[in-house]
Amino acid sequence: MNPTRFCVVCVDGAADEPVGGLDGRTVLEAAATPNLDALVRAGRLGMMRTIPAGLPASGDVAMLSLAGYDPRGGYTGIGPLEAAALCMRLKPREVVLRCDLVTIADGLLVDANGGDIPTEQASALMAELNTRLSSAGAVFETVAGSHHLLRLRDMSDAATKTLPPFQIEGEAVQRHAPRGPGAARLVELMQQAGDVLAAHDVNTVRRDLGENPANAIWLWGGGPFPRWPRFRQRFGIGAAAVGNALFFKGIAKMVHWAYVPAPRDGAAETASLAHAALQALADHAMVVVHAGMVDEASLAGDIDAKQRAIEMIDRDLIGPLADRLGGFHRWRLLVASSLMSSVERRRHSDDAVPFCMCGAGISAGGQADRLTERAASSSDLQIEFGHELMEFFLRT
C-alpha cells in the first residue's frame, strides 16, 4: 500500500482588489508565480468563501474554514485560540479576549500596533494594568509586541460584538466600541486602562522620543474555549501543522494536529516554513502550512512587499513542496488564499477567495493557467461554504 500524501498551503491574505498602482491588476496578477501557474495548469482552480456572514473577516476564522470546520458552529474568538496555543487554563465563567495595545488620539484609533511597541515595554504596561485593575476581575497576560490577552472572570456570555483594531484604524473609537451583552464592562475596562496607560513612564518616554504611545487597550475576539471534534475523527486522517501565527497553533491544538514550529528568520521565514514542512511530510500523511507574511504586508499597505512575499512563497515554499510531493506514489496539493486583504485600504473583507488543487485523481480543468481572483471567479468550481473544501479535497 502507498498511502496518499496530502499538503495544504494557506497563503494568508493573498487575495486582493485591483490596485491602482498596478494598472488595475491585483497583486496576485502582478506577481511572478511560475510554480503556482504550473499547479493550476495541472489541476483545478476554484473560488470559495471562508468568512461566513456575521463573523469577523479575520485570519483565524478563515483558517478554521480551510481546516474543514464550520466557524458558525463553535467559534468563540481569536482570544481563546491564542490562549490554547499558550496552554492557558480558564476557570468556570471566565473568558479570554485579545487585548491589543493601541494608540488613540482625538477619539480616533490612529495606530493599531501601539507604535510597534517592543515586548519589554509592553510587559511593563501590562504589569501596571494588573496592579491597578485586578479588582475588576481582569488578568492581563503578556504575549508579544502590542498583542496580548485578557482573562476576565464572571463573564460567561461570549455574544459581545467586537472588531479587530486593524479593521478600524483611522476611524472613531466610539463608533466601533464593543456592543451587545457584556459590552458595558469591556468599554469601562478600556476607559480605565486608558487612564492608567496614558500616565505611565513608558508612554511618557515614547512621546518624548516622537513615538506613538501605547496609550489604550482594544479588547476583541473573546470567549470561552471552543470545542471541536478531532481532525482524525472527522476526516479519518492525522495531520501536522507548520506555521508561526499563534491562532494557527491554537487551532492545531484544538483539532489535535501535531504542531511543527518554523522559526521566524526575517527574509528567510518562507524557507524556514518549507524546511519544516518537508520534514513533516516524511512522517505525516497530511501537512498543513500557514504562511502569514503576505497578509502582514497587506495590512501595512505595502504593495511591493506584498508582491515580493507572494513571489518568495511561490519560489521558496510552493516549488520545493511540489518537487517533494512528486517523489511520492500518490499525492495531492491544495493552495489557497485564506481571505481577501486589501493592500490599498489595509482592511480584510469577507469576499470569496481563489484556490487551486492538483494531484492524484484530480483532472486538469484546462480553464486557466494562473491562480488569480479573476480567473477563479470564472471557474466552474464555486464553493459557498469554505469549510466544505477540505472534504472535497480529501475525498474527490
Count the neighbouring beta carbons within 10 Å of the beta carbon of residue 267: 10
Q: What would the pLDDT profile of 197-247 be if each residue is shown by its tens digit?
A: 999 999 999 999 999 999 999 999 999 999 999 999 999 999 999 999 999
Q: For position 326, what pLDDT does the model report?
A: 93
In order of 6, 21, 63, 381, 385, the CA distances from 288 in angstroms are: 8, 33, 10, 22, 19
Confidence (pLDDT) at 1 = 46
Query: Going by C-beta distance under 8 Å and a sequence separation of 6 or more, which residues neighbour residue 373?
Result: 15, 16, 26, 28, 29, 353, 354
Check the CA dihedral 239-244-249-250 and report its sign.
negative
pLDDT tens across 19-51, in order? Answer: 999 999 999 999 999 999 999 999 999 999 999
Domain with CATH 3.40.720.10 in the chain: 5-75+227-395
- One-letter amino acid for residue 181 of the chain: P
As a whole number of angstroms, the distance between CA 127 and CA 336 comes to: 40
As given in the structure block, the three cell numbers for residue 294 are: 503576505
Q: Where does 5-75+227-395 sit in CATH, by number?
A: 3.40.720.10
Distance CA 159, CA 184 (A): 13
Question: Whole-model pTM?
Answer: 0.94
